[in-house]
A = this chain, B = another copy of it.
Amino acid sequence: MLRSLFFGVAFAALFTGPAAADPLLDEARSLFKPLPATAPVIKDNPATPEKVDLGRMLFFEPRLSSSHLFSCNSCHNVATGGVDGLETSIGHGWAAGPRNAPTVLNAVNNVAQFWDGRAKDLKTQAKGPIQAAVEMNSTPDRVLQVLTSMPEYKGLFAKAFPGEKDPVSFDNVAKAIEVFEATLITPDSPFDRFLAGDAKAMTAQQKKGLALFMEKGCSACHNGINVGGQDYFPFGVMEKPGADVLPAGDKGRFQVTNTATDEYVFRSPTLRNVTLTAPYFHSGKVWDLREAVAVMGNVQLGTVLSEEEIDAITAFLGSLTGRQPRIEVPILPPSTPQTPRPVTQ
């Protein structure tokens, strides 16, 4: 009796258990990982509440730019999917940036930062736009002058970096921003719930899209925890996109490695929250997600996707939108007579 009950349960599990009954889920689980609900640990930069909170202040601190107009949040706006929704960002003096601003959401899980991966982590990345002439146009020296001019910041750095002799440093600015940005994750998307075993979390159309996404080969470049962001690939594997989408002057990772095979190679972007982050591609030239899917089919897979396939894949991409981070605007310390004045020229 006991034995036949055991066999009965095992037999039922074979046909109704999630692993055995859903080959789509099995295949998805072999390629993707759900986002955890909490910020990942950064091994060389442990988070503390004080450091995260300082990072939040610095992320919203316009005085990190020389004009006092731009903060990290200007181009990586947590109100709008961690991006600015522009083809390329507007920076100091109304300059246009060279590439579309990638989302800060879940960026901590990317293999490296920037479209060409030239920053190995978020703390290295954070130092870039602060100094870029067409972005925040500041310098490490100016940043330190700004921060040390405000007694409140000095106290907050001392608490965030206890025991350090000079806690207000450009490295620590970047480290604080990194641990804050690591909290900007978007768990609990329909896709994550599906991966966790909730078969009803995705619609039939989204599941069809997921199947196509894997079957057609999209998942070759967009996989892992971020559904992308994990490696580098040439843009135009099968066919070069038009010069509008892939401007000839931007050779991507070649500019980092100086290796011929890295010409027009870019880090695949995360597709998490992709419905929130138009326009698309490093050039920001494609505004419609369906069109972006079609372009990818053509140039990366050498396939003309049908309208039906594009609809289904686009529906699947919609299942990647997770719970957006709820962030309180920090109250920043007032400037003092020692704070460098904004430079708007």
| Contacts from A to B (Cβ < 8 Å) | 60-63, 67-69, 74, 77-81, 84-87, 90, 93-94, 96, 275-276, 278, 287-288, 324, 326-332, 334-335, 337, 341-342, 344
| Cross-interface CB contact of A79 among B60, B324, B337, cutoff 8 Å | B60
User: Nearest Cβ in chain B — how far from A315, in angstroms?
Assistant: 15
CB pair B90–A335 under 8 Å, yes or no, is no
CB pair A278–B326 under 8 Å, yes or no, is no
CB pair B332–A79 under 8 Å, yes or no, is yes
Which B residues are CB-close (under 8 A) to A330? 79
CB pair B90–A62 under 8 Å, yes or no, is no
Given contacts A328-B327, A328-B329, contact A275 B68 (CB under 8 A): no
CB pair B62–A80 under 8 Å, yes or no, is yes
User: Nearest Cβ in chain B — how far from A57, in angstroms?
Assistant: 8
CB pair B85–A337 under 8 Å, yes or no, is no
CB pair B93–A68 under 8 Å, yes or no, is no
CB pair A68–B85 under 8 Å, yes or no, is yes
Given contacts A79-B331, A85-B63, contact A94 B93 (CB under 8 A): yes
| Cross-interface CB contact of A275 among B78, B288, B334, cutoff 8 Å | B334
Closest to A85 in B: B68
Closest to A78 in B: B329
Which B residues are CB-close (under 8 A) to A78? 329
User: Nearest Cβ in chain B — how far from A109, in angstroms?
Assistant: 20
CA gap between A275 and B278 in the complex, in Å: 40
CB pair B85–A67 under 8 Å, yes or no, is no
CA gap between A69 and B79 in the complex, in Å: 12
CB pair A81–B288 under 8 Å, yes or no, is no
Closest to A273 in B: B334
Closest to A75 in B: B69
Closest to A88 in B: B344
A-B contact pairs, 25 of them (CB 8 A): A61-B79, A62-B77, A62-B80, A62-B84, A62-B85, A67-B90, A68-B84, A69-B74, A69-B84, A79-B329, A79-B330, A80-B334, A86-B342, A87-B342, A87-B344, A94-B94, A94-B344, A96-B344, A278-B334, A287-B337, A287-B341, A288-B337, A326-B331, A327-B328, A329-B329
